[in-house]
Amino acid sequence: MIIKNIDWIIIIIFLFCLTVIGLIASRKGGKDSSSYFLSGRNMPWWILGVSMVATTFSISTPNLITDMVRSGGVAQNWLWWCFLLSGMLTVFVYAKLWNRSKIMTDLEFYEIRYSGKTAAFLRGFRAVYLGFFFNILVLATASLAFLKFAAIMLNVNAVIVLVVISAIILLYSTIGGLKSILWTDFFLFIFAMLGAFLPPFYIINSPEIGGMSNFFTHEAIQGKMNLLPDFSDPAMMITIFIIPLTIQWWASWYAGSEPGGGGYISQRILSAKSEKHAVGATLFFNLLHYAIRPWPWIFVGLASLILFPDIQSMIDHFHDVPAKYIQNDIAYPALLREYLPSGILGLVLASLVAAYMSTVSTQINWGASYLVNDFYARFIDTNASERKKVLVGRIWTISLIVLSIILALYLENALQVFQYMLMIGAGTGLIYLLRWFWWRINAWSEISAMIGAAVFSVVVIIIEQSYLIKIDENTIRLFDIEMNLAFWDAIKFVAIVILNTIVWLVVTFCTKPSDNETLIRFYKKVKPGGPGWDKVVSQIPEEESGHKTNRDLPLGLLCMSLGSIAIFSLLFSIGHFLYGNFMYAIALFILFALSSGYLFKAWGKLFD
């Protein structure tokens, strides 16, 4: 065995404590569908914020960050850092709107915002598309990472280990629903963060690297540590910096970073006890997610370039690991196996198990909420009792995790899945932002955007499968044109965004808007404000419209800007501090403090 008895003992104690916490928290968690999927709508901001960030802390996350660092350096993290802008927009503009809606799931939104049979169809279609197909893809990504982790760390069948851990997840999540998941997430996040910060210390101080001074001067990572891309390289500047910051953050739907909120983020928002707690939860999530958590994985990714400079070096070293698993993203568990001492290894392994469990437990509960509330109870059994809804939810919970494990056996690496998810959601994000603030968007707008994204993505995939030739890790040839792989990824993403945006805009103006009664009822309930509702507001008595909230939108955008500046400043202040650039670190921390001060001053006015 690669791990020792002490490591197994730590992992077993961890799993036992987690199960006990989950079962204790499960009391009354399954008494009705509101308790099972929204924990009674009375949760405080801090536990919801921790649960959000714990869910995004998948076991595949360190693998993905390691893959990015090895492929394009630290700067390639802009591919996901850009989503902070979307996150801050959700915090200060959309969180309170979701909370006001008082719906069970974000898909229920379709039948309070749109009218007619198309709204019902859209709700049902999205329930199956996101709750089943897309959700299984997300779950399979986490399962793939777990399989790689088990294959390289344990001398046992990786699939058997995955099944055992999944059974434990099902034990507490099917009994207690979201309430059990929230409290186990809190425990899992603490454990996962402890495990994330230990590996860089041991790996960088290993004899092969020899400490921080040797680490920073090693030739293998020179040029890889830059926080910004090389602006002398137009292709890299465009693909990993300009496009993410100007287009990707608002144009693409991605689980956990939905423009305007959605999925399990909106599930947590809808579970909050008030608008203030909803906003506080999403702000706390973005702070932890972007500013605090990435750095341990970034440093392990950099260290992996010193110890295993390419994929072949890992293949040559790890003869006992199936070759199909050895990609750039396996470098993270490879370094844990090689450089962590017994005991510490057990803690870190338990933290990675915690990361997997927190993601999967949320995804299966969220997916089941769609399939029960927005498909089964809406279209199959409209008179289903609360007890029956919970039962069906538990059946879907089990089904989702089983099918995702099967799919994971056919995937190759985490970055591959991440890129396909971005592509499938390309061009849809703008609708999810504008539908709250522009009365003209209707159900056909969203249907056409989904179909367009799917069709254009399939066309791109067919082109890649038929004509794309991979020359090396970073270079491809397509139609006899040789180009950087990242540049091709950017080209196809922007092309899908442009084409799909044209499609849904044309469809919007060629189809009828939702009926006035639906639009007026939605505005009275949610009070989004903004000039996009002037036509509807003119039909509502002023004392009923609440159109004074028109000031909330510019104030929310101001808070979004200040919040983005604050968190980016803290992120890079920490980075420069770790790099030893103390003057830059201090200057950026001062900027963080100033922008945070102005932010909280402006934030208070949102609730005046």
1: confidence class by pLDDT, cuts 50, 70, 90: very low
Does position 47 have pLDDT exceeding 60, yes or no?
yes
What CATH code is carried by the domain that includes residue 240?
A: 1.20.1730.10
Nearest CA-CA partner of 238 in 490, 67, 476: 490
If asked whether residues 325 and 198 sit together in one domain, one would say yes
Q: Does a structural domain hold residue 544?
A: no
- Asked if residue 436 lies in contact with residue 528, where contact means CB atoms within 8 angstroms, the answer is yes
Instruction: Report the C-alpha gap between 227 and 525 in whole angstroms.
Output: 44
Of 461, 484, 514, at which residue does a domain stop?
514
pLDDT score for 599? 92
Which of 120-134, 363-377, 492-506, 542-556 has the lowest average pLDDT? 542-556
pLDDT score for 141? 79
Segment 561-584 shows an average pLDDT of 94
Find all residues with CB under 8 Å of 3, minimum gap 6, and list them: 153, 154, 342, 345, 346, 349
If asked whether residues 216 and 140 sit together in one domain, one would say yes
Which of 284-288, 491-495, 497-501 has the lowest average pLDDT? 491-495
If asked whether residues 164 and 274 sit together in one domain, one would say yes
Which of 25-29, 257-261, 431-435, 465-469 has the lowest average pLDDT? 25-29
Which of 213-227, 479-493, 504-518 has the lowest average pLDDT? 479-493
pLDDT score for 85? 92
If asked whether residues 246 and 393 sit together in one domain, one would say yes
Segment 478-499 shows an average pLDDT of 82
112: confidence class by pLDDT, cuts 50, 70, 90: very high
Structure confidence by residue, pLDDT tens digits, 291-347? 988 999 999 999 999 999 888 888 888 877 777 667 787 888 888 888 888 888 888
- Asked if residue 40 lies in contact with residue 34, where contact means CB atoms within 8 angstroms, the answer is yes
Q: Does a structural domain hold residue 174?
A: yes
If asked whether residues 338 and 399 sit together in one domain, one would say yes
pLDDT score for 607? 67
- Positive/negative CA dihedral, 123, 129, 134, 135: positive
Which phi and psi angles does 470 have, rounded to 5°? Answer: -90, 115
pLDDT score for 424? 62
If asked whether residues 401 and 466 sit together in one domain, one would say no
Of 412, 440, 472, at which residue does a domain stop?
412
pLDDT score for 261? 81
| Mean pLDDT estimate for the chain | 84
Q: Does a structural domain hold residue 588?
A: yes
Q: Does a structural domain hold residue 313?
A: yes
If asked whether residues 578 and 456 sit together in one domain, one would say no
Segment 40-49 shows an average pLDDT of 86
Q: Does a structural domain hold residue 163?
A: yes
If asked whether residues 291 and 320 sit together in one domain, one would say yes
Which phi and psi angles does 475 have, rounded to 5°? Answer: -130, 140
Q: Does a structural domain hold residue 79?
A: yes
pLDDT score for 296? 92
Nearest CA-CA partner of 349 in 333, 361, 364: 333
Instruction: Report the C-alpha gap between 53 and 284 in whole angstroms.
Output: 9
What's the full length of the chain, in residues? 608
Q: Does a structural domain hold residue 46?
A: yes
Which of 179-188, 257-266, 508-517 has the lowest average pLDDT? 257-266
418: confidence class by pLDDT, cuts 50, 70, 90: low
Q: Which of 18-22, 41-45, 165-169, 565-569 has the highest mean pLDDT?
A: 565-569
Mutual angle of helices 158-204 and 263-271, in 10-degree steps: 80
Share of the chain above pLDDT 90, in %: 23
Terminal-to-terminal C-alpha distance of the chain = 61
If asked whether residues 312 and 202 sit together in one domain, one would say yes
If asked whether residues 350 and 439 sit together in one domain, one would say no
If asked whether residues 387 and 429 sit together in one domain, one would say no
- Asked if residue 245 lies in contact with residue 78, where contact means CB atoms within 8 angstroms, the answer is yes
- Asked if residue 413 lies in contact with residue 327, where contact means CB atoms within 8 angstroms, the answer is yes
Q: How many domains does the chain have?
A: 3
If asked whether residues 388 and 497 sit together in one domain, one would say no
Instruction: Provide the token pair at 513.
Output: 């808007």
Q: Does a structural domain hold residue 533?
A: no
Give the domain range for residue 356. 1-102+135-412
